[in-house]
Amino acid sequence: MNLWLIPTLPLIGAAVNGLFGRRMPRMAINAVAVLSVVASFLLALNVFNNLGDQPIVERYFTWIASGALTIPVEFAVDRLTMVMLLIVTGIGSLIHVYAVGYMAHEGGYYRFFSYLNLFMFFMLVLVLANNYLLLFVGWEGVGLCSYLLIGFYFLENWATSAGNKAFIVNRIGDFGFMLAMLLMFNQFGSLDIPVVLEGAKALPVEHSAGMLTAIGLLLLVGAAGKSAQIPLYVWLPDAMAGPTPVSALIHAATMVTAGVYVVARSSAIFTHAPIAMDTVAIIGLATAVMAALIGVLQNDIKKVFAYSTVSQLGYMFLALGVGAFSAGIYHVMTHAFFKALLFLGAGSVIHALEGEQDIRNMGGLRSKIPITFVTLMAAGLAIAGFPYTSGYFSKDEILLAAHHHSPWMFWVGVFTAGLTAFYVFRCLLLTFFGEYRGHAHHPPHESPPVMWIPLAILAVLSLGGGFIAIPHYLEPVLGHAGQAHDPTLVIIATSAGLIGIAIAAWMYLIAPGVPDAIARTFKGLYNFVYNKFYVDEAYNAAVIQPVIEGSRIFLWRGVDAGLIDGIVNGVGKRSRGLGGILRLAQSGNIRNYAAWVVMGSILVIVFLGFSGGAK
Amino acid sequence: MSHLLTWVLFTPLAGAAVLVMIPGRAHAALKLWANLIALAGFLISLPLAMRFDRDAAGFQFVERAIWIPAIGASYHVGIDGISLLLVLLTTLIGFLAVLSSWNSIRDKLKEYYVLLLVLQTAMIGVFVALDFFLFYVFWEVVLAPMYFLIGIWGGPRRLYAALKLFLYTLAGSVLMLLGLLTLYFQHQQQFGFYTFDIGALMAVQMTPAMEQWVFWALFLGFAIKVPMFPFHTWLPDAHVEAPTAGSVILAAVMLKMGTYGFIRFSLPLLPKASVNPWIAQTLAVLSIIAILYGAFVSLMQHDWKKLVAYSSVSHLGFCTLGIFSLNPNGIAGSVLQQVNHGISTGLLFLLVGLIYERRHTRQIEDFGGVASVMPRYATVFAVAMLSSAGLPLLNGFIGEFTILAGAFEANRTWAAFAVFGIVLGAAYLLWLYQRTMLGKLVHEENRHLPDLTLRETLTMAPLLALVFWIGVYPKPLFEILERPVNQIVERVKPGYFADRQAELR
């Protein structure tokens, strides 16, 4: 099947644009960048047509062979990978096309597309890898591209700092991922995913913490970094410093779902480690609620959608944690549709307003940029779970599974669904309705077709994509997931979304004074949420400052320059004095010299022994 | 060509002898000759790799001649896979160091190149000697040229730095000599004749206490060279003051002499002391402290070069941790990481040197936004940084992960701390990159910095190629290392492989 071509085409695209793009005309850069990804998509479709019940596995060469550690470069496609492949290449193609329009007036054009193609390469390696270490190559690679693209406007300190933050927080997650791999290798003697999963299935279910629980929890640390879950979500909102197509592709539709993919891929480990499963569910649920609360008070259109992404990723983790792995992947797909659309639509709005991102300076745009308006409303309905839109199906699937697991999780999930509908519509209504409050120099203008055609396609998918029955398709890999369809629960969940939309409409269309009144009444709480619960500030005070000051004052100035060099310089001075005395012992006799050398050496040892003891 | 190893060993020295005869004012001729010899030294070492037999046990290209019969010292050289990689690293880095000096050294050219070439022979000698006395001679000879390179062509505090380097290493070597002599006399007592031959010395039996004493004596010699915490404080000073070529050689090759000493001498000669749990534990803990401590202190440096120097302490901590994991992955990973560190830190020091030649400052605060004026430089720096930070598909990751696998097998807690070091590695490197390369150009002086010239790019090109090659296809290196590493593990832990086999069944 030549699976290797799927990631390699974008890699070639990245290399061509990276090395020669500076001297290439824009049309050529576009052609290389877009066509390489579209070709990958076509190849993926071809794989889809040929994929039977058995996974397709291809081995290329041995990468690492040291002792018992043998890591081949091996790709495999089963139905789970297939879904991810189609999402990544499909959405990736659309966003590449969109970016041709969006980036048309930006500098570093070739650099942007080179990075974006490189990202596609690593993301495809991630989903195709048949062993965890190769998966980790993709995992780190997408992190690198994320860093490069967040810091794309590298003249700006906020952009490069956000890039650093993303990379380092992800590295903290990698700490868990690496230890998980080491544990797996130690336990199963291999990092091949099928071998590890078969090994895990052969072990009993751990009702108290054991090896599989440890592996699961460590994988969760890695997944929480990449997929922005508590406590490692802090990098994602800042990551919006990158150009908007990057936010859509990497920080909404694909890379951030890698954590979900890894947990689903490792479902055999998690199902045998209920403690790890419960932790996944609780972290997911907590992230979903908290990020939704923060999203309510954000004023930057991209930040609203960023927190919404964190929150929706929390939903996916909830699905995984309650055992509905296929529902989690289902939501990965529908979320890829509507969240990519929300970001691209936001990009279209920002584009129309010459860079304005604050929704307080928008308003009344629905007649000025009608296509953007219609498509964004479609995305809004989908994320709010409006009946028969894509989000409706996947969200219901998750909430039903949560109810089956423990009802309280269902109720928290429903509350979050209501909040989600509310803040997304707050944002959309403030953008498109009422009076225009901004001060752009030129009247807002609709985006060119190269931008709105991808929007339109995504709008169709957001509305109708729920009919693609992912859970059914994934049954051979992830098992039967469907809970008994409970109409009451579905109605409750759906009405939460509708109520959220209604409240938003009431507060921002009918009674515009209400939000301010609420803010004044609950001033303390309002500020607390408005400042994102002061999590960044807390991390800064509890982790970053102690590390910096401790390193500088204690380790460097104290131990290094003070203690060790103090002793060394002391020895130097004293031995110079010692040399003066020893000069008296010069006798010209070679045997005497030899004796002195030995004696001197012994003295040095004794001295070092003492000074070592003094430390 | 017979006597290949001797040719490799003495080509630089012979070149230096000719160099002495070239008049000191003929700058062009001096430079040209030095570069030619360094290139020849590298090219002549390539057949070693081509003719090396991965499946043969023991040492290859062995040459033996009587040297000082009175004390039983002989000219005995040979290489196994471990030495092979380090010799190739040395000849390559040696050549690049000479090449990189083209513009940066302007006075006393003749002396400078003579010292570099002498140093080159001495370093190769350390990695090929199979006679402990011969090894010791080369080991000591390395010190002198480096002392003068720093002391004469160094920065403002060069005398302090050179003296510190000299005293530190001398203290270490004296102790090493004592340990070596103990082994030597023990051998005479037990077998009735004097020899420094490593193979023969392996037969010496000692009481555990005596063996441990010898171990610590050798340890100090090697640990100061590595340098392991807390013997590392000579390193930042030496690096900051050394000329670029000196820093490159120091980091890329000289530090590896210490780790090589552990692998070639401490483990096989003193296996019982090496497996002593208390000793192994102590050394692993010191390694972990070095990993974390080096990283934390790097974070706070204001001097670009000093930051890279402290990062070496951290990276070498990984190398020693691998060694004292005492298993195949740990040791193979360690050797690989020694090579990788040579490549990535070599690149980083070359890069600092290039910017220093242009701006005559290394303060991180004096830069910022350099990527806008030197895009090619910024790209190379990015690759070097990511290689050093251990990004997969680049060389550093392979070594780090293999070491971690070894460390994990030995002790899970060690591995956990070491993994944490990787997190910090990303932090100080990214922050350095941000403060120097990214952002707006704030200092007017940097506005007209010229980008890399062709010669400069060519100097770094081989290292860049290796960064990717080792990252993507390291298998040949693992194959070269497999036999010697397994031999050492079997020597230190007899029955290790049989036990593993039994475990698998």
- Per-residue pLDDT, averaged over B37-52, amounts to 94
- Determine the residue of chain A that is closest to B300 in CA distance: A552
Residue B504: pLDDT band (50, 70, 90) is: low
Give the integer Cα–Cα distance in Å for A155 and A103. 17
Q: According to the model, what pLDDT value does residue B315 have? A: 94
How high is the pLDDT of residue B119? 94
Q: How far apart are CA B143 and CA B129, in angstroms?
A: 17
Q: Which residue type is seen at A548? A: I
CA torsion sign for B19, B25, B27, B32 is negative
- Contact assessment for residue A223 and residue A260, using Cβ atoms and an 8 Å cutoff: yes
The shortest CB-CB distance from B233 to any of A66, A183, A564 is to A564
Mean pLDDT of B177-184: 90
Nearest chain A residue (CA) to B307:
A556
Segment A51-70 shows an average pLDDT of 88
Residue among A66, A69, A136 minimizing CB distance to B392:
A136
Which helix (H) or strand (E) segment holds residue B62: the answer is strand B60-68
Mean pLDDT for chain A overall: 86
Q: Could you tell me if A417 and A500 are in contact, meaning their C-beta atoms sit under 8 angstroms apart?
A: yes
Closest C-alpha among B49, B421, B377 to residue A178? B421
ipTM reported for the complex, 2 dp: 0.90
For B175, the closest of A171, A571, A605 (CB atoms) is A605
Contact B478 A64 (CB under 8 A): yes
Contact at 8 Å (CB) between A426 and A360?
no
With cut-offs at 50, 70 and 90, classify the pLDDT of residue A553: confident
pLDDT digits (tens, 9 = 90+) for A504-535: 888 888 888 888 888 888 888 888 888 888 88
Chain A hits for B313, Cβ within 8 Å = none
pLDDT per position as a tens digit, B321-355: 999 999 999 999 999 999 999 999 999 999 999 99
For chain B, positions 442-501, list CB contacts with chain A under 8 A: 472-475, 478-479, 481-482, 500
B404 touches chain A (CB under 8 A): yes
Task: Break chain A into its structural domains and give their ranges.
Answer: 5-530, 531-584, 590-615
Residue A56 β-bridge partners: A77
> Which candidate from A63, A555, A601 shows the least CB-CB separation from B297?
A555
Instruction: Calculate mean pLDDT across residues A562-568.
Output: 75
Tell me, what DSSP letter sits at residue B26?
-
* 3-state DSSP helix/strand/coil % of chain B, to nearest 5: 80, 5, 20
| Confidence check: pLDDT of B381 > 90 | yes
| Length of chain B as a residue count | 505
Say if the Cβ atoms of A66 and B333 lie within 8 Å. Answer: yes
The pLDDT score that the predictor gives to residue A328 is 92
B420 touches chain A (CB under 8 A): yes
Q: For residue B177, give every residue at least 6 positions away whose Cβ sits within 8 Å of its Cβ, in sequence order, or none.
A: A601, B136, B221
C-alpha B79: how far from chain center: 17
* Cα nearest neighbour of B378 on chain A: A154
Question: Does the pLDDT of residue A317 top 90, yes or no?
Answer: yes
B329, B416, B430 member nearest A164 (Cβ): B430
pLDDT at A46 over 80: yes
DSSP-derived letter for residue B81 is H
Helices B395-410/B412-436 angle, 10° precision: 150
**Cβ neighbours, 10 Å, residue B463:** 24
* Chain B residues 361-390 with a CB less than 8 Å from chain A: 369, 371-372, 386
Structure tokens belonging to residue B27? 């700058």
The residue of chain A nearest to residue B410, with distances taken between CA atoms, is A186
Span B195-206, average pLDDT: 90
- Give the model's pLDDT for residue B114: 92
Q: What is the pLDDT of residue A533?
A: 82
Per-residue pLDDT reduced to its tens digit, A158-181: 888 898 889 989 988 999 999 999
**Can you give the pLDDT at residue A611?**
42
Closest approach of B422 to chain A, Cα-based (Å): 8
| Phi and psi at residue B64, to the nearest 5° | -145, 135
Helices (H), strands (E): how many in chain A? 27, 2
**Statement: residue A49 has pLDDT above 50:** yes
Give the residue-averaged pLDDT of A457-467. Answer: 91
Which residues in chain B have Cβ-Cβ distances shorter than 8 Å to A175? 419-420, 422-423
Torsion of CA B482, B485, B489, B492, to 10 degrees: 160
SS3 state at B87: helix
Distance CA A57, CA A74 (A): 7
Residue pLDDT, tens place only, B53-74: 988 888 999 999 988 888 888 9
Please say whether the dihedral angle defined by the alpha carbons of residues B471, B477, B479 and B483, taken in this order, is positive or negative. Answer: negative
Helix (H) or strand (E) holding A513: none
Q: What average pLDDT does range A448-475 have in this prediction?
A: 89
The single-letter DSSP state of residue B242 is S
Measured in angstroms, the CA of B4 and the nearest CA of chain A are apart by 29
- Pick A612 or A36 by higher pLDDT: A36
State pLDDT tens for residues A574-583. Answer: 555 544 444 4
Mean pLDDT over the full length of chain B: 91
**Alpha-helical regions (H) of B81-157:** 81-100, 109-128, 132-153
How would you class B439 by CB atoms within 10 Å of its CB: exposed for 0-12, middle for 13-18, buried for 19 or more? buried
Distance between CA atoms of B366 and B15, rounded to whole angstroms? Answer: 40
Q: φ and ψ at A52, to 5 degrees?
A: -95, -150
Three-state SS sequence of A433-452: CCCCCCCCCCCCCCCCHHHH
Predicted confidence at residue A48, as pLDDT, reads 92
User: DSSP secondary-structure letter at B233?
Assistant: T
Average of pLDDT values for A21-37?
91
pLDDT over 70, % of chain B: 99
pLDDT in tens, B453-488: 999 999 999 999 999 999 999 999 999 999 999 999
**Cβ of B171 under 8 Å from any chain A Cβ?**
yes
State which residue of chain A sits closest to B393, comparing Cα positions: A137
Q: What is the pLDDT of residues B255-303, one digit of tens each?
A: 999 999 999 999 999 999 999 888 899 999 999 999 998 998 898 888 9
Average pLDDT over residues A291-305: 91
**Is the per-residue pLDDT at B88 higher than 90?**
yes
Could you give the CA distance from residue B263 to residue B335 in angstroms, rounded to a whole number? 9
pLDDT band at A482 (very low <50, low <70, confident <90, very high): low
At B171, is the pLDDT very low, low, confident or very high (cuts 50, 70, 90)?
confident
Q: Is the pLDDT of residue A83 over 60?
A: yes
Binding-face residues of B in 214-243 toward A, CB within 8 A: 217, 220, 230, 232-234
The residue in chain A having the minimum alpha-carbon distance to the alpha carbon of residue B165 is A568
Q: Do B296 and A555 touch (CB under 8 A)?
A: yes
Give residue A584's pLDDT.
Answer: 45
| pLDDT for A575 | 57
Enter the tokens of residue A222. Answer: 């890695």
Whether A613 has a pLDDT exceeding 60, the answer reads no
What is the chain B residue with the closest CA to A134?
B392
User: How many angstroms separate the CA atoms of A173 and A547, rounded?
Assistant: 18
